[in-house]
């Protein structure tokens, strides 16, 4: 059975389809905005999946672009799919969009300097992190921790995404919970890193400066929409960047971080040493 990509991805695909139709019609974004009396950024938001469209807007665009019947039917179907509402994921409010996009991603690149990324976390490790958070109520901790562990489980599925996780050495050094909890998390990282589609690398603290200082971000590539999105989260909100300039910059930083980091084999040896040390406590 084909996996439901969800309305967020359908919105991205819809935007890409409309962009193709506009370009085929020989029109610029400014041409379209001027024709309809829209503000200039509206067309860009529509084509990057950030803007919402009514049925009337869709038909007006199809008429302007001179779309043939088959293309029109495809766009109208995508517009309907993009307006669907799915059950909310058990995450903080501003991260709900991210979880949906992550679930549809074919490639995930992550840089986390001082903590294990959520999609790689065990239930116990996630619970310790969430208990310390000032943004998560105590009644939500177990449910959100369980949701994180379920996200991790998809990496063992028959159709997993390609994953590159670059972390600062502090992410595995910093003790989270008891020695048993922390060791369990490192063993999970070790297990994931042995999978063909998962690469884990650490940047040693001894390195000093590197291109990712002061940053924490994730790059999601979604094949269905032929789109890459940079996701940046802070304490109370998050930002999504899909523009070519932003994505290019974050990809460049990530590539340089991978070069600066230990190799995947060296990383596993360091994780093994930490696991052995925890086993002695």
pTM: predicted TM-score of the whole model, two decimal places: 0.78
Q: In percent, how much of the chain has pLDDT > 70?
A: 94
Residue 92: predicted pLDDT: 54
Taking only the tens place, the pLDDT of each residue in 264-273 is: 999 999 999 9
- Which segment of 35-39, 111-115, 199-203, 230-234 scores lowest on mean pLDDT? 230-234
For 50, phi and psi rounded to 5 degrees? -95, -20
* Of residues 103 and 275, more confidently modeled: 275
Residue 99: predicted pLDDT: 83
- Which segment of 124-128, 188-192, 245-249, 251-255 scores lowest on mean pLDDT? 245-249
For 92, phi and psi rounded to 5 degrees? -60, 150
**Helix (H), strand (E) at residue 229:** strand 227-233
Mean pLDDT, range 247-255, rounded to an integer: 95
Mean pLDDT, range 211-223, rounded to an integer: 92
Q: Is the pLDDT confidence value at 136 over 60? A: yes
Task: List the Cα angle 81/101/194 in 5-degree steps.
Answer: 135
Q: How confident is the model at residue 227 (pLDDT cuts 50, 70, 90)?
A: confident
Residue 126: predicted pLDDT: 96
Q: Are strands 238-241 and 227-233 parallel, antiparallel or unpaired?
A: antiparallel
Residue 279: predicted pLDDT: 80
State the Rg of the chain over Cα.
21
Mean pLDDT, range 194-215, rounded to an integer: 92
Please say whether the beta carbons of 16 and 71 come within 8 A: no
Residue 2: predicted pLDDT: 44
Residue 116: predicted pLDDT: 96
């Amino acid at each position: 059975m084909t996996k439901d990509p969800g309305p967020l991805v359908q919105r991205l695909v819809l935007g890409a389809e409309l962009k193709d139709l506009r370009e085929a019609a020989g029109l610029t974004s400014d041409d379209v905005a001027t024709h309809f009396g829209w503000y200039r950024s509206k067309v860009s938001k529509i084509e990057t999946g950030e803007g919402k469209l009514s049925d009337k807007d869709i038909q007006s665009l199809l008429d302007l672009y001179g779309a043939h019947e088959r293309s029109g039917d495809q766009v109208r179907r995508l517009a309907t799919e993009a307006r669907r509402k799915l059950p909310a994921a058990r995450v903080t409010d501003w991260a709900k969009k991210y979880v949906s996009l992550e679930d549809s991603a074919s490639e995930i690149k992550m840089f986390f300097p001082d903590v294990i990324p959520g999609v790689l976390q065990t239930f116990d490790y996630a619970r310790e992190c969430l208990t310390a958070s000032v943004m998560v109520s105590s009644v939500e901790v177990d449910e959100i921790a369980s949701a994180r562990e379920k996200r991790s489980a998809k990496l063992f599925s028959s159709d997993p995404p390609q994953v590159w996780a670059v972390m600062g050495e502090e992410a595995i050094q910093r003790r989270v919970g008891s020695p048993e909890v922390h060791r369990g998390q490192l063993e999970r990282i070790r297990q994931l890193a042995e999978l063909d589609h998962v690469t884990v690398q650490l940047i040693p603290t001894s390195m000093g400066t590197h291109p990712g200082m002061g940053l924490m971000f994730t790059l999601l590539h979604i094949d269905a929409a032929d789109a890459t999105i940079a996701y940046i989260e802070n304490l109370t909100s998050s930002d999504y960047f899909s523009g070519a300039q932003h994505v290019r910059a974050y990809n460049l930083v990530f590539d340089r971080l991978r070069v600066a980091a230990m190799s995947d084999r060296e990383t596993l040896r360091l994780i093994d040493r930490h696991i052995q040390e925890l086993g002695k406590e």
